[in-house]
Amino acid sequence: MAKRSPKALLLFSGGLDSLLAGEVLRRNGVQVTCLTFTAPFLTSEKAVSAARLYDYPLIIAPLPERVYINLLTGPPHGFGKYMNPCIDCHALMLKTAGNMMKQRGYDFLATGEVAGERPKSQTIAALRRVDEASGFGDYILRPLSAKLLPPTAPEREGLIDRNRLLAISGRGRKVQIALAQEWHIKKYPSPAGGCPLTEKLFSLKLRRFMKAFEGQISFFHIALLRVGRHFLLPPKAHLVIGRDMKENKRLLQLRLPWMWLVNPINVKGPVALLYSRDGLLTQENFEVSARFVARYSDHEGDPVRILMTSEEDRLNIVTKPAHPAELEKFRI
């Protein structure tokens, strides 16, 4: 009876490194299924496009929300420079993938990580910590840097030939680009920007928001924080004001039924969302929100008519725009 081909679950972003990792595995006779995760800072668009273009089966799965949120309050391996729990975030992905590997009968996991490509999260020491934290370290193969790392179970068990794996390291991409040309991988996205949690201003915004909401946040709140201007109004209200047409459309997409929609009706201006952590809003919350939205409208100093609508009610408030000092008092 013919020996079956080994099956690998490849963590897949759709970028050059993950495409090359998939090709290395294919050239070693491995059946590759790609896995991409979704979360507030992770989207599947590039993975879907690349998997379709290069004929990979793709699984799209959400990261476990509550576990991820807990990492933002106290990651076991600590934060990076700002609010980025990189070691624990990567470990969570690999632990989730490892459980899927066991449940669905895959032989091992693979990633497109390159040793030393990211000075904080992809050093050999950092990769070792991720492996240990995931609980599946012996089954995580990194085809692009495997020869620089200790042999894994699929190598020792003969599922894949270590001699046919690679030894790429460092931040440069010349080797990867040359391989892509040799292997006819012609379309791949440019390197994406970093995770927002590595950014100082976003981390500060998130930290303040988490404190105000006493840790009672969700993926939805984090996604909302990535759009618009944000204001925390006492005692527990949150106002988000779009900065341009694209953000206005995004806020309309994110709006949940219990949120108030706020916008000017006698002049051009932004879309805004208003809600409270406990569902209760004060008259002052409505009046302040109206002034703030008026401030970012084309008001030319005149009073602005603000329409506020919810599932069950609507308000009309005529107001003058807020003074900049008042805005700064409540801005996150």
Residue 171 confidence class, pLDDT cut points 50, 70, 90: confident
Does residue 168 register a pLDDT over 90? yes
Give 3-state DSSP helix, strand, coil % of the chain, rounded to 5. 40, 20, 40
Residue 4 confidence class, pLDDT cut points 50, 70, 90: confident
Average pLDDT on 61-77 reads: 91
Give the pLDDT score at 192. 64
Give the pLDDT score at 23. 98
Rounded to a whole number, what is the largest CA-CA distance in the chain? 84
Name the superfamily (CATH) of residues 7-182. Answer: HUPs (3.40.50.620)
Tell if the pTM clears 0.85, that is, is over it: yes
Residue 277 confidence class, pLDDT cut points 50, 70, 90: confident
Give the pLDDT score at 193. 62
Does residue 326 register a pLDDT over 70? yes
Residues 175-203 have pLDDT tens digits of: 999 999 999 999 988 776 678 888 999 99
Place of tokens 């979360």: 39
Residues 315-325 have pLDDT tens digits of: 999 999 999 99
Tokens of 173: 């991409």
How far is it, in rounded angstroms, from Cα 240 to Cα 218? 16
Give the pLDDT score at 1. 43
Please name the residues in contact with 284: beta carbons below 8 A apart, sequence gap of 6 or more: 233
What residue ranges of the chain are covered by domains with CATH 3.40.50.620? Answer: 7-182
